[in-house]
């Protein structure tokens, strides 16, 4: 049996190696137009910053390596066309310029994706880069080492843009990020994205949201960008990071079905519409596990799974891909940002009835040195009580919690189950009640309607609508003085029993503290004393990122008191 694989990075090489393991006699040929193969695309920002100092670390393997397994990898070979009728590919040897054809019994397409390049004036100037493969990184490193740029502009506030913001800062540049959407990280909910924005601003990264680049100016090399808000940004280095498209142009007209975004349509067996032709990785569509809908989330981890499944099924297997949760994670400076499953945005699009909660908890017990808080935003479905989504922003231990939550969501666990999980506790690693347990406890309370919850967005809406409600701050007067919600009254928790008669029983009360522990108790006290419409501000004031809601200390302000 003769197998051709197009693409020699994550999806392609995983498929090729799976074929080899399943079929010792198989003839396996892999074509890639690049000369770097099987590289770690996710490591490129770290290669540029110098955290990874060795090019060989991110491209550890060459064609020679795969010879050991009798897999014939031909680099600098571009597949120009797939002839599905005659089961052959037309290939151009980029070294010689010669074109030839080769036949296959089974074909696996794993050509990946390429960066979107906006068609605007000045885009061809020197000093404007994309970052997708190792040669892009080489070019960027060379430019930086030649011209020592001082002012970097990053177009696109996704995770590649942010990883590169860190890399360029580390290299000594001023960094400005321009993002077309209202917030950076448009795949996150905006409350969580704002946590990242304010962190980045503290780190000295300028962020311009709801803004796009109209044109670049310069003289051979880029000098500045003109933005849609009329402003100019001086920049002698530009990274375009506005997303990627599946590299499937060569398939147009081949008969292999593509989706509107260019992704190859595959079923759960990684089969295209053409018998014997499979696709895997960033060139192909994936499905969101929780609703079965097509999604395009090109990630190395998914490409590996798809490659293995394609290889298995190309050799006669029947392995199904169960779909993705769109789990992702990245580090920017000391912050980790991660998500899995539904965001509020996605849940609303799907018409799912959900409740949402925010918890801010230390990643390990506070008794142990180095404990740091993280904020988890969680979504649970009202009808099923299943946990369906989580987003986390924090400095330590975020990767653990997102993976535990991704596993729980994958398995269909409820918020009640989360509390019961037997997670590993010792002081260097967690708390006796892990943040994941708190997610379970808090969300179960909401779902039981023992507790009502109010997000900062809903609070702002209530304010803007002029609804009649009281905001109650149960922290100390000192804490209140530094920062509080606009118009909030201050009754410290320990005085609540005695002073609650000052509060109106018929009105909505929105109670908060720093991160939700004391306000949770205050909410109980009020509910048990006949206050019926008591809401807890989700995550407390430490989670409030809408500046419109906040009033900050002026030296002579004193707390208002009912």
The percent of the chain in helix, strand and coil, each rounded to the nearest 5, is: 30, 30, 40
Q: Of the candidates 15, 137, 154, 329, which one interacts with its own copies according to CB under 8 A? A: 329
Q: Is 404 in the site for its own copies (CB under 8 A)?
A: yes
Element (H or E) spanning 192, and its range? helix 190-202
Catalytic residues: 42
Q: Are 285 and 296 in contact (CB under 8 A)?
A: yes
Site string for its own copies, 98-137 (x = CB under 8 A): ----------------------------------------
CA distance 212 to 154: 11
Q: Of the candidates 57, 103, 384, 561, which one interacts with its own copies according to CB under 8 A? A: 57
Site string for its own copies, 497-536 (x = CB under 8 A): x----------------------xx--xx--xx-------
As a whole number of Å, the end-to-end CA separation of the chain is 82
Pairing of strands 113-115, 128-129: unpaired
Closest to its own copies by CB, 143 or 531: 531
Closest to its own copies by CB, 54 or 86: 54
CA distance 520 to 539: 10
Q: Of the candidates 60, 172, 316, 477, which one interacts with its own copies according to CB under 8 A? A: 60
Closest to its own copies by CB, 218 or 243: 243
Stretch that binds its own copies, among 198-206, 249-257, 271-279, 331-339 (CB under 8 A): 331-339
DSSP 321: P
Near its own copies in 288-317, by CB under 8 A: 289, 299-305, 308
Q: Are 378 and 387 in contact (CB under 8 A)?
A: yes
Q: How far is the CB of 54 from its own copies (least distance, A)?
A: 9
Q: How far is the CB of 267 from its own copies (least distance, A)?
A: 16
Q: Is 203 in the site for its own copies (CB under 8 A)?
A: no
CA-CA-CA-CA torsion sign (382, 383, 385, 387): negative
Q: Is 199 in the site for its own copies (CB under 8 A)?
A: no
Closest to its own copies by CB, 224 or 305: 305
Closest to its own copies by CB, 67 or 486: 67
Stretch that binds its own copies, among 99-107, 233-241, 350-358, 406-414 (CB under 8 A): 406-414
Of the candidates 420, 498, 510, 499, which has an alpha carbon nearest to the alpha carbon of residue 468?
510
Near its own copies in 335-364, by CB under 8 A: 336, 338, 340
Closest to its own copies by CB, 69 or 148: 69
Q: Is 465 in the site for its own copies (CB under 8 A)?
A: no
CA trace torsion 249, 253, 255, 257 (10° rounding) = 50
Of the candidates 179, 277, 286, 189, which has an alpha carbon nearest to the alpha carbon of residue 227?
179
Q: Are 137 and 48 in contact (CB under 8 A)?
A: yes
Q: Is 1 in the site for its own copies (CB under 8 A)?
A: no
CA distance 349 to 328: 20
Q: Are 191 and 457 in contact (CB under 8 A)?
A: yes
Q: How far is the CB of 550 from its own copies (least distance, A)?
A: 26
- The tally of CA atoms less than 13 A away on the side-chain side of residue 179 is 23
Strand partners, 128: 238
Contacts of 498 (CB under 8 A, 6+ apart): none
Q: Of the candidates 80, 382, 411, 482, which one interacts with its own copies according to CB under 8 A? A: 411
Q: Is 384 in the site for its own copies (CB under 8 A)?
A: no
* Radius of gyration of the chain, Cα coordinates, nearest whole angstrom: 27
CA trace torsion 184, 187, 191, 195 (10° rounding) = -50
Closest to its own copies by CB, 211 or 315: 315
Q: Of the candidates 310, 314, 402, 459, which one interacts with its own copies according to CB under 8 A? A: 402
User: If binding means CB under 8 A, how many residues of this protein chain bind its own copies?
Assistant: 87
Stretch that binds its own copies, among 129-137, 179-187, 232-240, 426-434 (CB under 8 A): 426-434
Closest to its own copies by CB, 340 or 453: 340
Q: Is 194 in the site for its own copies (CB under 8 A)?
A: no
Site string for its own copies, 61-80 (x = CB under 8 A): -------xxx----------
CA distance 250 to 366: 56
Of the candidates 36, 392, 34, which has an alpha carbon nearest to the alpha carbon of residue 188?
392
Q: Is 322 in the site for its own copies (CB under 8 A)?
A: yes
- The tally of CA atoms less than 13 A away on the side-chain side of residue 431 is 20
Q: Is 406 in the site for its own copies (CB under 8 A)?
A: yes
Q: Of the candidates 51, 80, 382, 482, which one interacts with its own copies according to CB under 8 A? A: 51
Q: How far is the CB of 325 from its own copies (least distance, A)?
A: 4
Q: How far is the CB of 413 from its own copies (least distance, A)?
A: 6
DSSP 428-469: TT--SS-HHHHHHHHHHHHHTTSSEEE-HHHHHHHHHHT--E
Q: Of the candidates 84, 167, 227, 408, which one interacts with its own copies according to CB under 8 A? A: 408
Q: Is 449 in the site for its own copies (CB under 8 A)?
A: no
Q: How far is the CB of 392 from its own copies (least distance, A)?
A: 10
Near its own copies in 5-44, by CB under 8 A: 10, 20-25, 40, 42-43
Closest to its own copies by CB, 247 or 336: 336
Closest to its own copies by CB, 456 or 523: 523
Near its own copies in 227-286, by CB under 8 A: none
Tell me the C-alpha to C-alpha distance, in Å, between residue 1 and each of 85, 212, 316, 432: 18, 51, 11, 56
Near its own copies in 130-189, by CB under 8 A: 159
Q: Are 452 and 459 in contact (CB under 8 A)?
A: no
CA distance 242 to 230: 20
């Amino acid at each position: 049996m003769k197998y051709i694989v197009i693409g020699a990075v994550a999806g392609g090489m995983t498929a090729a190696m799976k074929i080899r393991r399943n079929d010792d006699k198989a003839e396996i040929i892999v074509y890639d137009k690049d000369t770097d193969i099987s590289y770690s695309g996710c490591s490129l920002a770290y290669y540029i910053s110098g955290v990874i100092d060795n090019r060989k670390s991110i491209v550890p393997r060459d064609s020679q390596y795969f010879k050991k397994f009798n897999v014939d990898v031909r680099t600098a070979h571009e597949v120009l066309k797939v002839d599905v009728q005659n089961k052959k590919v037309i290939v151009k040897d980029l070294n010689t310029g010669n074109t030839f054809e080769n036949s296959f019994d089974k074909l696996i397409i794993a050509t990946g994706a390429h960066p979107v390049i906006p068609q605007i004036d000045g885009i061809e100037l020197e000093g404007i880069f994309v970052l997708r493969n190792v040669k892009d990184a080489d070019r960027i490193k060379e430019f930086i080492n030649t011209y020592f740029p001082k002012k970097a502009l990053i177009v696109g506030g996704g995770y590649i843009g942010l990883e590169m913001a860190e890399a360029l800062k580390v290299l000594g540049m001023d960094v400005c990020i321009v993002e077309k959407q209202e917030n950076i990280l448009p795949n996150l909910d905006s409350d969580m994205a704002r946590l990242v924005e304010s962190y980045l601003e503290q780190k000295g990264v300028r962020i311009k949201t709801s803004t796009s680049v109209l044109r670049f100016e310069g003289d051979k090399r880029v000098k500045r960008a003109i933005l849609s808000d009329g402003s100019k940004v001086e920049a002698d280095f530009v990274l375009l990071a506005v997303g990627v498209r599946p590299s499937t142009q060569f398939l147009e007209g081949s008969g292999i079905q593509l989706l509107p975004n260019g992704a190859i349509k595959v079923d759960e067996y990684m089969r295209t519409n053409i018998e014997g032709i499979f696709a895997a990785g960033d060139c192909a569509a994936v499905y969101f596990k929780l609703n079965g809908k097509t999604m395009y989330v090109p990630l190395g981890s998914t490409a590996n799974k798809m490659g293995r499944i394609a290889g298995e099924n190309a050799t006669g297997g029947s392995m199904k891909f169960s779909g993705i949760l769109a789990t992702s994670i990245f580090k920017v400076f000391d912050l980790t940002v991660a998500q899995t499953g539904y965001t509020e945005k996605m849940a609303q699009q799907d018409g799912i009835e959900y409740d949402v909660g925010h918890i801010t908890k230390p990643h390990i017990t506070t008794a142990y040195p180095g404990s740091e808080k993280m904020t988890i935003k969680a979504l649970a479905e009202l009808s099923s009580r299943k946990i369906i989504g989580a987003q986390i922003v924090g400095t330590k231990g975020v990767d653990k919690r997102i993976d535990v939550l991704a596993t729980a969501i994958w398995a269909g666990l409820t918020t009640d189950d989360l509390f019961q999980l037997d997670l590993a506790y010792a002081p260097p690693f967690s708390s006796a009640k892990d943040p994941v347990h708190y997610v379970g406890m808090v969300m179960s309370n909401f779902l039981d309607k023992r507790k009502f919850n109010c997000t900062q967005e809903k609070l702002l809406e209530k304010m803007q609508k002029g609804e009649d409600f009281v905001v109650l701050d149960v922290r100390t007067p000192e804490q209140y003085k530094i920062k509080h919600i606009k118009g909030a009254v201050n009754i410290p928790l320990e005085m609540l029993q005695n002073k609650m008669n000052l509060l109106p029983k018929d009105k909505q009360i929105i109670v908060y503290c720093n991160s939700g522990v004391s306000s949770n108790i205050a909410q109980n006290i009020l509910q048990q004393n006949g206050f019926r419409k008591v809401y807890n501000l989700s995550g407390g004031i430490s989670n409030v990122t809408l500046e419109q809601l906040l009033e900050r200390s002026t030296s002579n302000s004193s707390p208002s008191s009912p």
